[in-house]
Structure 1
Amino acid sequence: MNLLKLIALDEVDLEVISSHLQDAVVRVGDMAYVPSKKRFAALLNRFEWERTEGGNGRKDYRRRRTALRFERVLEAKHKGIRPATEHKVLSLLAIGFEPDEAPSGYVTLTFSGDASIKLKVECIEAALTDLGPAWRTKSKPEHPDAPAGVAGKTVGGKSGSAS
């Protein structure tokens, strides 16, 4: 079992994590911001893009339980997410970074349905850790509005306050 473990300390690293988490699904109740620890964490079911792009031609799609953690988080705001709907499932499209006064800035987790979480961070300090075995899934996420040649992949909770 090949478990993925990644750390992001800059924008390029964060793009790699974003790429691996594109189309991950997460329940609202599986995300949390803990202000006293300056931490935002989420448990997601990520789609294993690295497995589908090996060129073997087989339709052996899989998902895997994965933890995502951001440290040095000063504030978390959400848009289009109601924390009370803890069983609602969101699909993560991308994670981006907007610099402020270096090295601080804003990390944005963008979900389908015009939902997002914006984290004000002292600096980029994130980790992605696979938690266990993968399981088969019947389909591969598709993006019908994506440019030609882009099948579905591009590189690119509970919040303390609402925006």
Structure 2
Amino acid sequence: MTDLKLLALDAEDLEVLSAHAQDAVVRVVDMGYARRDRRFALLMNRYDWSEDKPRSKGMRKRAGLHFNHVETVAYAGFDPAAPEGVLNLLAVTFTPAADAVSGTVELAFAGGGTVRLGVECLEARLADLGSAWAAAAKPTHALD
């Protein structure tokens, strides 16, 4: 199983990154903003959709995701100071501003939680950090 390493520099790249991060489990204490470095980072246990097989619970991998050139961070729908908080990442999107370079990155979590990053330009990196393990269950989504 090969470790994943992705770089996103535009909205299309970010869609690919988002698909690989969908259904990742994130502890609230494993995310934060380094204001001086202008970087927002989080650790996750991502579901490895590329290894998904029928009648299998699949695999999870420890991964890191970070965004550079971050100017602002806003949290909604959860307490960013809750040490016991656990979130399920659904999608990562980018909405460009009028200049088409800067904009807003949104991390959307199950239950309505969000993290919004105001970025000077889009630069995101996702990388697996270690070995894989059997997932407790395969993520499922109700189709509305």
Q: Is TM > 0.5 for Structure 1 vs Structure 2?
A: yes
Name the SS for the 1:113 alignment partner. helix
Q: TM-score if structure 2 supplies the norm length?
A: 0.95
Q: 1:106: which partner in 2? A: 104
Match of 1:137 among 129, 135, 138: 135
> Partner of 1:36: helix, strand, or coil?
coil
- The residue type paired with residue 121 of structure 2 is C
Q: Residues 81-100 of structure 1: matches in 2 within 5 Å?
A: 81-100=78-97
Aligned to 1:157: none
Q: CA deviation at 1:60?
A: 4.8
Residues in 1 aligned to 2:94 and 2:16: alpha-carbon distance in whole angstroms: 12
> 4+ residue stretches of structure 1 with deviation over 2 A?
none
Q: CA RMSD in A?
A: 1.2
Distance in 2 between residues matched to 1:132 and 1:58, nearest whole Å:
25
Question: Which range moved further: 126-135 or 94-103?
Answer: 94-103
Alpha-carbon displacement from aligned partner over 1:8-49 (angstroms, at most 9, x marks no partner): 011110000000000001000000011110000000000011
Equivalences for 1:27-106 in 2 at 5 Å? 27-52=27-52, 57-100=54-97, 101-106=99-104
Distance of 1:117 and 1:27 partners within structure 2: 13
Structure 1: any 5+ residue segments left out of the alignment? 148-163
In structure 1, C-alpha distance between the alignment counterparts of 2:81 and 2:6, rounded to whole Å? 31
Count of paired positions? 143
AA aligned to 2:25 is: V
TM-score by length of 1: 0.84
Aligned to 1:18: 18
Is the partner of 1:85 in helix, strand or coil?
coil
